[in-house]
Amino acid sequence: METKIQKRKLGKSNLEVSALGLGCMGMSFGYGTIADKKEMITLIHKAVESGVTFFDTAEVYGPFFNEELVGEALAPFNGKVVIATKFGFDTTGASALDSRPEHIRQVAEASLKRLRVEVIDLFYQHRVDPNVPIEDVAGAVKDLIKEGKVKHFGLSEAGVKVIRRAHAVQPVTALQSEYSLWWREPEAEILPTLEELGIGFVPFSPLGKGFLTGKMDQNTTFDSKDFRSTVPRLSPENLKANQAFVDLLVQIAQRKNATPAQIALAWLLAQKPWIVPIPGTTKLHRLNENLGAIAVELTPGELQEINTASSIITVQGDRYSGGSAKLINR
pTM for the full predicted model: 0.94
Largest interatomic CA distance in the chain: 54
- The 10s digit of each residue's pLDDT in 29-39 is 877 778 899 99
According to CATH, the topology of domain 7-210+272-296 is TIM Barrel (3.20.20)
**Do 86 and 59 contact (CB within 8 A), yes or no?**
yes
Q: Where in the chain are the domains? A: 7-210+272-296
pLDDT less than 70: residues of the chain: 1-3, 94-95, 322-330
Looking at residue 3, what is its pLDDT?
57
Looking at residue 1, what is its pLDDT?
36
The residues carrying an active-site annotation are: 61
- The 10s digit of each residue's pLDDT in 16-25 is 999 999 999 9
Residue closest to 171 by CA, chosen among 142, 146, 148, 195: 142
Chain centroid to CA 234: 19
Looking at residue 327, what is its pLDDT?
43
